[in-house]
Amino acid sequence: MPNWQSVAAGGLWAVAATALAAPMNYHETWDSYGGPGDPTFLAVWADLDSLNRFNLLTDNDNAFTGPNNLEYPGVNQDRGLINNLADGINNSQATGAELYPGQWVSPAADSELCVGMYLYISAPLANRKLVNTIIVISKGGQNVSIPKDATVVLPEPIPALAFGLINGWPDAGGTQVNYATPYFFDGKQWVRINAFATATGHNRLWMCIRSDGSVMLSELKGGGSTTGTAQYTGGEFDTLSLRANDVLGWVTARIDDVFLTGGTIGGVASPGACCVRTALGGGTCSIVASQTECQTLSGVWKGGGSTCGTNNANCDFCWPFADSDDDGDVDLDDFGVFQTCFTGATSGYLHPECRCLDRPIPQEGGGFLPPDNRVDNSDLWEFTKCWTGPAILLDRTSPPPGCAP
């Protein structure tokens, strides 16, 4: 069984700052759920394999951030939870958003991808063997179990890395190892970490994955760390999971504040604003994953990375302005609305629907003057440029010549 020896623990603050400044900043505190039967809790953190679920417990004394945390199982029980971060189900009350469907997160050259948790243990060192828990980051439904034998080496790496505290296995000479020693799964095998140990009370186990394949493993409460190399080099992850087993009922152990920070998000175009007109001059805006999703809503996609703006200011609910009844064509029905809004040379208050018919005024040398708070003959001229006739759809992306948004 390989052992990793300690390296300098300097730079932990730099690691934390890099992770927190990166695009991914997911933080699950368990505090937004109403209890173990909360539908959001059941949906966000689904059943893992055939394991029983963790108990969701209100325990301010042993939580890292109260009131809620996860409670360990009873005697010889195996438990687990899994969160597919890219399944479209999001605990909106957690700190940071999850991934959109089809996305993943990976380490970047300038930003490590860090995953970890707080683990509270009441047991003294001699009984630490009773506490078994791991946090797993993986892709595509792959997962890692807590084995009974750490000498098994997989023939090929799987897309998963894991870190945690496991019941110490005997070494080659048959001697039981230190129960407080963490273990790391590198994609092919479990590795014992000799550089630092867990302690009674709160432990913050932190695993930071770098783009060059190296991994920093830390227990930030005590300040110890070590580095090594991941055998899984694909670098893409979309799932978090937790496992625990073999805990005696009198040992108090809790999981709290699970986090995934840093790296870069990839896989699909960045989400953006989708503007859906519900009436001439009015509508709704939402952030969706892609242009395709926006099209299913009959909306106008504003592009990846776009926002709705304050009071949907980035949406133009007037376009196409000449199609007043929003039936796809510009015909006499729409002209009837124009007649109702027509003011002539008189400026003044315009009904919201009529404001869309007050068009920017084109200039001979090019460019436009802003609307003049009236619907007059110049606006009629702009209206006629968009005329299609009944049942002839106006192509919003390629309108008739001169028909301008």
Q: Which domains does the chain have, with CATH numbers?
A: 3-266 (2.60.120.560), 269-317 (no CATH), 321-405 (no CATH)
Phi and psi torsions of 250, nearest 5°: -90, 0
Q: Which residues contact 22 (CB under 8 A, 6 or more apart)?
A: 108, 111, 112, 113, 261, 262, 263, 264
Closest of 14, 120, 24, 112 to residue 65, by C-alpha: 120
Q: Distance (Å, rounded) from C-alpha 336 to C-alpha 75? A: 77
Specify whether the backbone of 321 is left (phi greater than 0), alpha (psi in -120 to 50) or beta.
alpha
Q: Distance (Å, rounded) from C-alpha 59 to C-alpha 70? A: 9
- Asked if residues 108 and 93 have their Cβ atoms less than 8 Å apart, the reply is no
Closest of 261, 260, 259, 253 to residue 79, by C-alpha: 253
Phi and psi torsions of 206, nearest 5°: -130, 125
| pTM strictly above 0.75 | no
Q: Which residues contact 322 (CB under 8 A, 6 or more apart)?
A: 330, 334, 338, 357, 383, 386, 387, 394, 403
In the chain, the N- to C-terminal Cα span, in Å, equals 68
3-state SS assignment for residue 376: coil
Single-letter residue type at 402: G
Q: What is the pLDDT of residue 18?
A: 31
Q: What is the pLDDT of residue 310?
A: 84
Q: What is the pLDDT of residue 20?
A: 32
Q: Distance (Å, rounded) from C-alpha 304 to C-alpha 100? A: 13
Q: Using 70 as the pLDDT threshold, list the residues of the chain that sit under it.
A: 1-23, 73-76, 88, 92-97, 101, 123-131, 147-151, 167-180, 220-222, 246-251, 268-270, 405
Return the bridge partners of 137, or none: 161, 240
- Dihedral sign, Cα of residue 221, residue 225, residue 231, residue 237: positive
| Buried-exposed string 47-57: b where 16+ CB fall within 10 A, e elsewhere | ebeebebbbbb
